[in-house]
Amino acid sequence: MILVLARRELWERYGTSRGWLALAAAQLLLAWLLFTQLDIYLKIQPRLTSLASPLGVADLVIAPTLASAALVLLGLAPLLGMGSIADEVRSGRLSLLLSSPLRASSLVAGKWLGLFLALLPAVLLSMGMAAALGLATHPDPGRLAASALGLGLVAALAAAVTLWLSSLVEQPATAAGLAWGALFLLWFVDNGGNQALALFSLRSHLQPFLEGRVGAGALLWFAILTVAPLTLATLRLWRLGGGR
């Protein structure tokens, strides 16, 4: 049942041109960011060589580009997923789902999986761009794998937050606005360097992955911030009428 819903959700995102256009725009933006980083790197490379700096393409091009890719994912998730539940409520189609022999948790899981899969092409294309630098350099495959995992976790979290906020309102645009607000707040929350706020910071928890370090603490942080909104969305649908 979860897979049936996930497939439906995926088709909803890419069955029309909106999803493809959003993905194409995200990809263009990332390509531009990559070339900008590469341009900067090529300009400072002679100085780095003369200083015998340990920093290379992985630190100065790939990691910043993938951090930007995470930010792009935070922009893309609400764009693709704003209508996940809000549109079902607005159009009256939620009655089809809630009158079916389907648990609210399965409904949320299916929709989340569909949205997560809809975001995966953006993750894979970003990783593809980073891996393409392997034609000229030798990026560390372990570090690339950790970065891919980090971006995957960002996509999972962004999909969960978007889905939850989409369950709270009837207008997809309102859901998108709320989701952008929540996700960018999580990203920029420690901008002032506040240590306490860094606990909530998405950027500071993603950074170890981009540096090739996969820590249990960061994994747990992503797991909590993904499962919590999904639980809230399930409770929301259960309160409406869905079986838990």
Partner 1 sequence: MSAKGDILLQARNLERRDGPVVRLRRFDLELRRGEAMGLLGVNGAGKSTALALLGGVLRPTRGEVRLLGHDLHREPLRARRFLGLLPERPPLYPHLTLDENLDFAARLRGLSRKEATHARERIKKRLGLIRLGRRLAGRLSRGTAQRAGLGQAMIHDPEVLILDEPTAGLDPAQAHELRILLRELAVERAVLLATHLLEDVAALCRRVTLLREGRVVLRERLDSAPRAKVRFLRPPPDEALRRLPGVAAARSLGDGWFELRLEDAPADLAERVASHGWGMADYLSSGHDLERLVAAMVEPAP
Structure tokens at 18: 């909106």
Q: What angle do CA 127, 74, 147 make, to 5 degrees?
A: 30
Site map (CB under 8 A) of partner 1, residues 15-34, x = contact: xx------------------
Asked if 46 and 155 touch (Cβ cutoff 8 Å), the reply is no
Q: How many CA atoms lie within 13 A of 174 on its CB side?
A: 11
Does 102 interact with partner 1 (rule: CB under 8 A)?
Answer: yes
Among 6, 10, 12, 187, binds partner 1 (CB under 8 A): 12
| 103 strand-pairing partners | 243
Structure tokens at 203: 């950027």
Minimum CB distance to partner 1 smaller for 1 or for 40: 1
C-alpha 120/C-alpha 156 separation (Å) is: 9
- Name which of residues 128 to 187 contact partner 1 (CB under 8 A): none
Residues that contact partner 1, how many (by CB under 8 A):
27
Does 55 interact with partner 1 (rule: CB under 8 A)?
Answer: no
Does 115 interact with partner 1 (rule: CB under 8 A)?
Answer: no
Does 9 interact with partner 1 (rule: CB under 8 A)?
Answer: no
Which of the stretches 54-62, 94-102, 140-148, 192-200 binds partner 1 when contact is defined by CB under 8 A?
94-102
Total number of residues shown for the chain: 244
Asked if 109 and 172 touch (Cβ cutoff 8 Å), the reply is no
What residues line the site for partner 1 (CB under 8 A)? Answer: 1, 4-5, 8, 11-12, 15-16, 91-103, 238-243
